[in-house]
Amino acid sequence: MNELTTKQPGLPVLLFQAIKAAFQLRFTSNGGQGYGSGNWWTQGLFTNSRINYANEAGDLLQSSLVMAAVNWLGRVLPEAPLQVMEMDSKGKEKPIIGHPAVALLKKPNPFYSGATLWKTFALSWIPDGNPYYLKIRNGFGEVIQLWYIPPAMISPQWPADGSQFISHYEYRVDGRVYDIAVEDVLHFRDGADPKNMGRTGLSGVASVLREICADNEVPAFHYLLLKAGGVPPVVLALKDGQSHTQFDPAEIKAKYLAATTGDQRGKVFVSGNAVELTKVGFSPAELDLKILRHLPESRFASVIGIAKETLGFGAADENSTHNNVQQADERSIQSYVRPLWGYIEDELTHQLGPDFGLAENQRFAFDLTAVAALQEDETALHARAAQDLASGGITVNEYRSMLNLPPVPDGDVYLRSSALQAVTPEMVKKQIQDALNPPEPVIVQGQLPPGEPQPKQLVNGKHHTN
């Protein structure tokens, strides 16, 4: 009998027991299997088709669509340096200089840098949605290295009864399987795979596998067509009325191929028989291969969330200019990479923060001021800062901070124009009362009330009306 049943429980304990008894949380899915059974990568994915598009697409790292996004993201992610921030009692955050976690992420292991770490992140994030990193600890249990693990080599595992969401990770290498504790794996997820209740991420690439398959066929067809000298497939047949006695189809075919393919392409084809050539394929002029690639490019860019102009796809060539490409780059970083930086910050704080003893007021954060695409135009920034300072909305030091200038002594003050006067509520109230109840006019002897014609008076010998 456990401790809860031997003592008279209070209301909170009774409430907890009632909820537990009613709910009995179980994380069931796929019988406790990991990457190999429920993941889209090993399934056909599209239930309305007999084609297994995952197999047809092949290695996604050989797709130019996928690698365009991988390479772009791998270049952009390292632009923002990682920091550990600490919030003070006033709610302002400042970086902790020389924090050991930052040093680790700048050089995660002896063989590659922090920039390489983020390139490996992109390599798994785009095609699979599951970047994994192994934490290496010293004898004191401190994390001293991080190592990238390809998604195909590692997967989360859980008990068959679903009593744990993830019990451990299974690492497969050189034909052997190793169990790794959950706290020793840094796992990022792009979304959540519903087949395993979100134990792994699910890349948007899964939904455009058909487009990737179609895009893969275009260069293959293009290559084969060029290899054949740009000549589409044909049928060689003996013309009607010709004798078959001296007709050797194999010989005719060999001579035709020799004259139209390989090093002999472009040579004259001569046959001793009257043969008829029938085209059964499209010529390059009839089949615009460039247009065939535009739809997969546009759909892929739309699903991934990176502008096609940013990825340099041909689908954007017709309307691409320097200005709209620059705007597309900024939009892609704002709408795609900036939220991703925020997600990575949260996951590092949650998964790596405890290993470095991060307090409640400390967190990982990327320094976005180092990202050129996120910075306001210099002229517009100066104009806005000057306007805020002149209106009294910011202090002198806040103004200098906006311009990346160091603070000055006694700079935590607001500038007020001498022409401006403070207006109190009492003053406003009095002005309203005066407007509603104007004072009675004062009548001087010999004068009529204001607004009425005044009597004529003799001034300097002349009549004058007041």
The ranges assigned to domains in the chain are 28-228+282-375, 234-279, 376-440
State the average pLDDT over residues 412-417. 77
State the average pLDDT over residues 115-134. 95
Q: Flag whether pLDDT at 294 surpasses 80.
A: no
Of 8-12, 226-230, 236-240, which range is least confident?
8-12
Residues with Cβ < 8 Å from 345, sequence gap 6 or more? 363, 364, 365, 366
Of 79-93, 253-267, 378-392, 435-449, which range is least confident?
253-267
State the average pLDDT over residues 273-281. 56
DSSP symbols for 62-101? G-HHHHHHHHHHHHHGGGS-EEEEEE-TTS-EEE-TT-HH
3-state secondary structure of 279: strand
Q: Flag whether pLDDT at 454 surpasses 60.
A: no
> To which H or E segment does residue 143 belong?
strand 143-149
* Partner residues linked to 457 by β-bridges: 464
Q: Flag whether pLDDT at 155 surpasses 90.
A: yes
| pLDDT band per the 50, 70, 90 thresholds, residue 322 | low
User: What average pLDDT does the structure give for the chain?
Assistant: 76
Q: Flag whether pLDDT at 363 surpasses 60.
A: yes
Q: Which residue has the tokens 């160091």?
A: 406
Instruction: Please tell me what DSSP assigns to residue 111.
Output: T
Q: Flag whether pLDDT at 25 surpasses 60.
A: no
Phi, psi of 132 (to 5 degrees): -120, 145
* Partner residues linked to 180 by β-bridges: 169
- Tell me the longest C-alpha to C-alpha distance in the chain: 146
Measured distance CA(191)–CA(206) in Å, rounded:
12
Phi, psi of 34 (to 5 degrees): -105, -135
Supply the pTM of this predicted model: 0.66
The pLDDT value recorded for residue 42 is 44
More confident residue, 349 or 217: 349
Q: Flag whether pLDDT at 347 surpasses 90.
A: yes
Q: Which of 205-209, 234-238, 454-458 has the highest mean pLDDT?
A: 205-209
| pLDDT band per the 50, 70, 90 thresholds, residue 35 | very low
Q: Which of 94-98, 275-279, 315-319, 448-452 has the highest mean pLDDT?
A: 94-98
The pLDDT value recorded for residue 400 is 86
Q: Flag whether pLDDT at 240 surpasses 60.
A: no
Residue (of 124, 184, 126) closest to 156 by Cα position: 184
Q: Flag whether pLDDT at 161 surpasses 50.
A: yes
- Look up residue 220 and give its two tokens: 């293959």
The pLDDT value recorded for residue 55 is 80
> To which H or E segment does residue 132 belong?
strand 132-137
Neighbours of 185 (CB within 10 A): 19
Measured distance CA(298)–CA(309) in Å, rounded:
10
Q: Which of 147-161, 230-244, 260-274 has the highest mean pLDDT?
A: 147-161
The pLDDT value recorded for residue 38 is 39
Phi, psi of 23 (to 5 degrees): -95, -50
Q: Per-residue pLDDT tens for 74-113?
A: 999 999 999 999 998 888 899 999 999 999 999 999 999 9
Q: Per-residue pLDDT tens for 190-227?
A: 988 988 999 999 888 888 888 877 777 776 766 666 66
